[in-house]
Amino acid sequence: EELEELNTKKNQLIALLSHDLKNPIGMLGQTLDLVDKDAFEEGELELILKNLRNQSYHLSGMLNNTLNWVLAELQDKAVETQNVSLHRFTNEMKEGMMAQALVKKQTIESATIGEDKTLEIEASEIRIILKNLLDNAIKFTPVGGKIEFDMITSPEAITWKILNEGKPIPENELATLFEFKVKTTFGTMREKGTGIGLPLCKKIADRLELDLSYIRTEEGRNSFHLTKKLN
C-alpha cells in the first residue's frame, strides 16, 4: 500500500511538472509561428518580444517553485514560507503572464482591494496555483478578451480572484472539476489541455489548507477563487 501510494504521488508530481512546462512552451511556439508570418505590427512585435523575455524569467522561477514542491512532497518535508508584500506579489504574477495574454491580444486587469500586508505565506506554492488558473483563463478567453485578476485583503483572509469571459464549464463536469481525470480540452485558439491542472492545484491548496473554488458569475463569467484564512 505504501509503494502504491508513493507511485501515485510520483505520477501526479511528474504530471505537475509536465503541465507547467506545456503551456509556456506551446505559447512560445505559437508566438514564433506568428512572427514568421509577419502577423504583428512593428510596435506589437517589440512589445511581445520584450514580454517573452520577461516571461522566460518568470517561467524559470515557476519551474524552480514546482520542482521544490515536488521534492518537498517526495521527501515529506514541511512547506517553506516567505515574507512578501501581497500587492507586489500579485503584481509580479500579473506581469509574468502578460506575454501569453498579448499573443491573443487579451488584457489582464488587476485590482487590489484592501490594505497591503507583508506576511509569511507559502509563496512558491501559491504561485503554482495562480499561474495555472491564469493559464486556464488565457486559454479559454476569446481573442481580444479581458481577464480580471484581483486580490482582496481583510483581517480574516486573503482572496485572489481570476475572472474571464468564455464558455461556462458544463454542469455535468462541475462535480468532478477538481478530481484527477484526464480529459482533452481545447482553448479558443485550439490550445490543447489535459484537464489535470485544476486537480493538481486543488491537491496543493488542500495541503496548505487553502480554499480553491469555482463559480459562474451572474454576468456570465468564469470565476476561480483562492482564499487563505489568516485566523
State the distance between the two ends of the chain, measured CA to CA, in whole angstroms.
36
**What pLDDT was estimated at residue 133?**
93
**What pLDDT was estimated at residue 100?**
81
**What pLDDT was estimated at residue 5?**
67
**What pLDDT was estimated at residue 79?**
78
Segment 1-34, tens digit of pLDDT: 776 766 666 666 666 666 666 666 666 666 677 7
**What pLDDT was estimated at residue 137?**
93
**What pLDDT was estimated at residue 10?**
65
Query: How many Å apart are CA 163 and CA 187, to the nearest integer?
Result: 16
Strands of the 222-229 sheet, one edge to the other:
107-113, 146-153, 157-164, 222-229, 211-216
**Beta bridge mates, 226:** 160, 212
Chain mean pLDDT for the chain: 81
Percent of the residues in the chain that have a pLDDT greater than 70, as a whole number: 67
**What pLDDT was estimated at residue 43?**
72
Range list of H helices, the chain: 2-36, 42-74, 86-103, 123-140, 171-174, 197-207
